[in-house]
A and B are shown apart, each in its own frame.
Chain A
């Protein structure tokens, strides 16, 4: 019997914060081991424990919210704040890489030939695959909004179809980018051009994969009837994250692919 007189969720003790911290320790020390001592053991172990932690922690949150009803309106409000703050922190993360790009490209050094793109670099044509990628992500923004409306309008089949389409578009983007990376005439080692290009687009690609995974989890939950027409914050959080990924791409496209060529 619940005897609390407030609507908040005092969570039960959980091992996942500790396993998460252990994973972080293993991954960081593992990186050092990989760089200096040619061993991937700690790194792999750290990655494995991180994935297990994420799976079990988020599984527990679904249990607490959907199956046990702990996500009352004030709790949901807190989750919203949390997601917004997290996405904001990610925005600042990307601002750093854009800062690096503009710092290097607005005043190209003599080592680069005083030009941007630097002498010897053939940048990718922004009107080929990168433009297709832009269209793919913009379309996926439309489909995820379509899925949201389907959910709010209690339309199960449209929600599932639109969400599936969003995921397929996300996977298509990832496949296209992978091909672009393989075929690119320059590498990460090619001066600051390569560094800024691959670090910025690389982190973006990682976020696309994370966002696609989040959407896939939402699809599975939708199929299993977890979401109601008025309470589906997990879906909204995934959609916000997906729109953020789309916006970052637009900035990348305009700055690095288009202006930067």
Chain B
């Protein structure tokens, strides 16, 4: 309790100092990358760490290395095959040929030419995807 109270005191002292010296500076820089937590609430941008930070940074660049989002919809034709990302040279694919089918068609998809589902003939292509680090 003593530790967090004193750290709060430190925050308040800094608050007073910042307030007296640079009121307009803070108003301008609130909610940007400047570390303003003493007067407000931090943002994920400032404070996220670990895997949460990695997913956040990737999303900002339009990437999804941890497969958080639904896979993109492809036509499944020869010209527009389903793109299957894989960290290895092969990956299991489960094709639900028609919506609500309960029999899923499972097959290994290998790197190289696109393969077709043995049941509905949809095209699938394996694409290499690096292990995120």
Q: Mark A67-80, 1 if CB is under 8 A from B, else 0.
A: 11111111000000
Chain A residues with CB under 8 A of B47: 225, 228
Q: Are A70 and B52 within 8 A (Cβ)?
A: yes
Pairwise interchain contact B68-A72, C-beta atoms closer than 8 A: yes
- Give the interface segment out of B35-43, B74-82, B106-114, B120-128: B35-43
Q: Decide if A154 touches B40 in the complex (CB within 8 Å).
A: yes
A6 partner residues in chain B, CB cutoff 8 A: 66-67
Interface set, chain A 141-177, CB cutoff 8 A to B: 150-151, 154-156, 159
When the two chains form their complex, are residues B67 and A151 in contact, meaning their CB atoms are under 8 A apart? no
Q: Is the CB of B67 within 8 A of A7?
A: yes
Complex contacts, B65 vs chain A, CB 8 Å: 5
Q: Known contacts A2-B51, A69-B52; decide if A228 and B68 are in contact (CB<8 Å).
A: no
Give the chain A neighbours of B31 by CB distance below 8 A.
Answer: 154
Cβ-neighbour of A72 out of B8, B39, B43, B51 (below 8 A): B51
Interface centre among B8, B31, B41, B66 (most CB of A within 10 A): B41
Known: A3-B133, A151-B41, A220-B4. A228 touches B48 (CB 8 A): yes
Q: Is B87 an interface residue (CB 8 A)?
A: yes
CB 8 Å contact bits of B1-36 with A (1 = contact, 0 = none): 000100110000000000000000000001100000
B residues less than 8 Å from A9 (CB atoms)? 51
How far is A229 from B67 in the complex, measured between Cα atoms in Å? 25
- For chain A, residues 1 to 22, give those with C-beta under 8 angstroms from any C-beta of chain B: 1-7, 9
CB contact between A5 and one of B8, B30, B42, B87 (< 8 Å): that residue? B87
Expressed in whole angstroms, the minimum distance between the Cβ of B120 and any Cβ of chain A is: 27
Please pick, from A1, A69, A225, the residue contacting B37 in the complex, using a CB distance under 8 A. A225
The chain B residue sitting closest to A222, CB to CB, is B41
Q: Chain A residues near B52 (CB, 8 Å)? A: 69-72, 231
On chain A, the residues within 8 Å of B49 by CB distance are 67-69
Residue tally, chain A, CB below 8 Å to B: 31
* Chain A residues within an 8 Å CB radius of B46: 228
- The answer to whether B73 has its CB under 8 Å from any CB of chain A is no
- B50 and chain A: residue at smallest CB distance: A69
Instruction: Please state if A7 and B48 are interface contacts (CB–CB under 8 Å).
Output: no
Residues on A with C-beta less than 8 A from B55 are 7, 72-73
Is A223 in contact with chain B by the CB < 8 A criterion?
A: yes
Q: Are A231 and B48 in contact, with the CB atoms below 8 A?
A: yes
Q: Which of B88-133 contact A (CB under 8 A)?
A: 129, 131-133
Residues of B that sit less than 8 Å from A by CB? 4, 7-8, 30-31, 37, 39-44, 46-55, 65-68, 87, 129, 131-133
A-side interface residues toward B, CB under 8 Å? 1-7, 9, 67-74, 150-151, 154-156, 159, 220, 223-225, 227-231
18 pairs, A vs B, C-beta closer than 8 Å: A2-B51, A3-B131, A5-B66, A5-B87, A9-B51, A67-B49, A68-B49, A68-B50, A69-B51, A73-B55, A150-B41, A154-B43, A155-B40, A224-B7, A228-B41, A228-B44, A231-B44, A231-B52
